[in-house]
Amino acid sequence: MGSLGAIVRHPDDVYPLLKLKMAARHAEKQIPAEPHWAFCYTMLLKVSRSFALVIQQLDPQLRNAVCIFYLVLRALDTVEDDTSIATDVKVPILIAFHRHIYDRVWHFSCGTKEYKVLMDQFHHVSTAFLELEKNYQAAIENITKRMGAGMAKFICNEVETVDDYDEYCHYVAGLVGLGLSKLFHASGKEDLAPDHLSNSMGLFLQKTNIIRDYLEDINEIPKSRMFWPRQIWSKYVNKLEDLKYEENSVKAVQCLNDMVTNALLHAEDCLKYMSALRDMSIFRFCAIPQIMAIGTLALCYNNIEVFRGVVKMRRGLTAKVIDRTKTMADVYGAFFDFSCMLKSKVDKNDPNATKTLSRLEAIQKTCRESGLLTKRKPYILRNESTYSSTMVLILVIILSIIFAYLSAKRQDN
């Protein structure tokens, strides 16, 4: 659960956190008995616990297809991310990866920790893939082939322009959006979404991750990973790594704000995509990560901590998003609230302030015009002073009782 300090400051996080904990345990109990499927769902929990929880929204057949799609692309991404692999070895693997998923014995040792386990035992993923329906297999193969080719292209080319940045993000994430739309359509539950909207769903998430992960990527050993486009960062510093140095703090934050402003371009497309979804399970599966993304952008904006450590939403707020995202009214509300938070942080002296405000106002206009803002509970933004002292008192009493019980139990033992 969240830290005690965070819970005391946000006592209404407690119930969603407990529900999230129970959902995590339920997900662990839902792991299939067959060895290959057990490996896939266990690995999913290890490489992305949040995704493993969100995927539980889907019905079993579609859930299996999305699980394998995710693990195949995670394996492909592990090859791309491993900077210790020589280019002449890496590129052919990326290009041929869509064929390896049909090979029950293929594996390639790379990556670290749980990603190395995924790669070493990739035959389990291939075995599960071959049990999917043919239409699911075709969609996964098609996206894997296109993504591998795109990754191979950018192994040899740096991200220079904003167009390059959009193209790279299309290959590594926009195609994920297109692939998921194909899987949703193949399930018979959704119409096939327009490619540009599916692409924006992926780009919004990917650009958020690239912004948030600046420090981790720039400090990668043995070689830095650099995804911020030169066209943006060169306006502020001579080298991308210069952004992490304290003497460049002002320029670093300005560059960060420029990057966030660029990511906001995709928000309206995401709202349009989600508003067209009919199936509730698919809607929640899509909506929860998008709300997390705009929430993360709101936290990162104008925040020097992006260049000092990890910036992410507190666990309690994440639990609330997962628990309370049920309708499009919730999505519009969350996008509106987080855009308000971000708007309050805009410094009029920032070089991109006018552009940032314009994009935020466009998002807020879309949310208002939906007519749904009054039909949701505004849980994202609350003034700290409005937290009920009674809630805090009740929480303290409950924690005291638990502590006393545990102490007595230890004494009995």
Residue showing tokens 């314009």: 358
Phi, psi of 78 (to 5 degrees): -65, -40
Residue showing tokens 């997962």: 322
Catalytic annotation present for 212: yes
Report helix, strand or coil for 238.
Answer: coil
Query: What tokens does 18 get?
Result: 């407990």
Q: Write down the catalytic residue from 9, 104, 225, 314.
A: 225
Query: What tokens does 76 get?
Result: 């492909």
N-to-C CA span, the chain: 26
What is the spatial distance between Cα 132 and Cα 70, in angstroms, rounded to a whole number? 14
- Quick one: which of 310, 210, 333 has its CA closest to 260? 210
Catalytic annotation present for 168: yes
Query: What tokens does 254 get?
Result: 């300005």
What letters, b where the CB count within 10 A reaches 16 and e where it falls short, cover 48-64? beebbbbbbbbeeebbb
Q: Write down the catalytic residue from 51, 115, 136, 212.
A: 212
Catalytic annotation present for 285: yes
Query: What tokens does 307 get?
Result: 């260049």
Q: Write down the catalytic residue from 108, 285, 332, 335.
A: 285
The amino acid occupying position 230 is R
What is the spatial distance between Cα 216 and Cα 356, in angstroms, rounded to a whole number? 26
User: Residue 194, preceding bond cis, omega within 30 degrees?
Assistant: no
- Quick one: which of 12, 8, 59 has its CA closest to 381? 12
What is the spatial distance between Cα 403 and Cα 413, in angstroms, rounded to a whole number? 16
SS3 letters across 212-273: HCHHHHHCCCCCCCCCCCHHHHCCCCCCHHHHHCHHHHHHHHHHHHHHHHHHHHHHHHHHHH
Query: What tokens does 407 get?
Result: 């102490």
Q: How far is CA 104 from the centre of its chain?
A: 30
The sign of the CA dihedral 48, 210, 267, 188 is negative
What is the spatial distance between Cα 151 and Cα 128, in angstroms, rounded to a whole number? 25
- Quick one: which of 44, 47, 50 has its CA closest to 68? 44
The amino acid occupying position 112 is T
What is the spatial distance between Cα 158 and Cα 353, in angstroms, rounded to a whole number? 28
Query: What tokens does 408 get?
Result: 């007595």
Q: Write down the catalytic residue from 39, 51, 168, 204.
A: 168
- The residues carrying an active-site annotation are 168, 212, 225, 285
